[in-house]
């Protein structure tokens, strides 16, 4: 069966992301789990951009492998974040199943309906995220041997907020994810992990794609 034109770009986008991951690993070999985690993550975020509930299937695999990588690099806030991710994925399946859209043939599709936040609510949330990130960064720097405490904090706290918005199907998640992914690029670049760097570069592009799709 030929691929519909409407499905061609998502397929090419996904293939490009996976190819970049493989190329990064070949160019700068690292822990093989970096490649596995990166590829699972790319599948998960592309499906999320398409509002497809199957995002959670790949998300579970990415969470487990990424937690292991955070442990190796001593990104302790990242480990805690992924424990939260795991639990939120379970709740996310429950929420998204209730928001599945009926198809033209009156059957339930794999796509969910989305919603938006009020601007004042988003602004207040961003202020809370900023101060919470500063507090967590201070605690990590003072009481742990975290290798990058403020990078860790400013990627972990906003990610928790973005994950909550994603689970509840709010479009504003993509703005927060974009800021987080830019910081992750810098964090993993300092750690010297090319696969993770390329994953988050791709995720930055996916945030733009996801925002466009979720506004439809």
- pLDDT score for 47: 92
- pLDDT score for 120: 92
Q: Helix H segments across the chain?
A: 5-27, 32-49, 55-73, 76-98, 119-143, 149-167, 173-191, 194-214
Per-residue pLDDT of the chain (216 residues), as tens digits, is 444 545 688 888 889 989 988 888 888 777 788 888 889 988 998 999 999 999 999 999 999 998 988 888 787 777 887 888 899 999 999 999 888 875 554 445 678 888 999 889 989 999 999 999 999 999 988 888 877 788 888 888 898 899 999 999 999 999 999 998 998 888 788 878 777 788 788 889 999 999 999 988
- pLDDT score for 127: 94
User: What is the secondary structure of 72-104 as a DSSP string?
Assistant: HHT-HHHHHHHHHHHHHHHHHHHHHHHTEEE-T
- pLDDT score for 6: 57
The 8-class DSSP code of residue 31 comes to -
- CA distances in angstroms from 161 to 72, 144, 154, listed in the order given: 25, 23, 11
- pLDDT score for 107: 47
As a whole number of Å, the end-to-end CA separation of the chain is 26
User: What is the secondary structure of 147-162 as a DSSP string?
Assistant: SSHHHHHHHHHHHHHH
SS3 call for 112: strand
- pLDDT score for 106: 46
- pLDDT score for 1: 41
């Amino acid at each position: 069966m030929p691929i519909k034109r409407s499905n061609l770009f998502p397929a090419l986008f996904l293939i490009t992301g996976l190819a970049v991951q493989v190329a990064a690993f070949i160019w700068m070999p690292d822990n093989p789990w970096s490649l596995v985690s990166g590829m699972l993550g790319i599948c998960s975020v592309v499906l999320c951009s398409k509002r497809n509930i199957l995002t959670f299937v790949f998300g579970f695999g990415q969470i487990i492998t990424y937690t292991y990588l955070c442990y190796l690099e001593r990104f302790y806030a990242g480990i805690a974040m992924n424990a939260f991710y795991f639990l939120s994925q379970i709740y996310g399946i429950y929420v998204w199943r209730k928001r599945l859209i009926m198809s033209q043939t009156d059957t339930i599709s794999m796509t969910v309906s989305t919603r938006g936040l009020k601007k004042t609510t988003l602004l207040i949330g961003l202020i809370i995220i900023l101060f919470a990130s500063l507090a967590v960064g201070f605690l990590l720097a003072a009481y742990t041997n975290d290798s990058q405490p403020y990078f860790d904090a400013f990627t972990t706290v906003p990610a928790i907020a973005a994950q909550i918005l994603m689970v509840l199907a709010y479009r504003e998640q993509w703005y927060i994810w974009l800021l987080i992914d830019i910081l992750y690029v810098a964090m993993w670049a300092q750690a010297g992990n090319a696969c993770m760097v390329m994953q988050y570069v791709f995720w930055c592009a996916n945030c733009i794609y996801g925002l466009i799709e979720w506004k439809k």
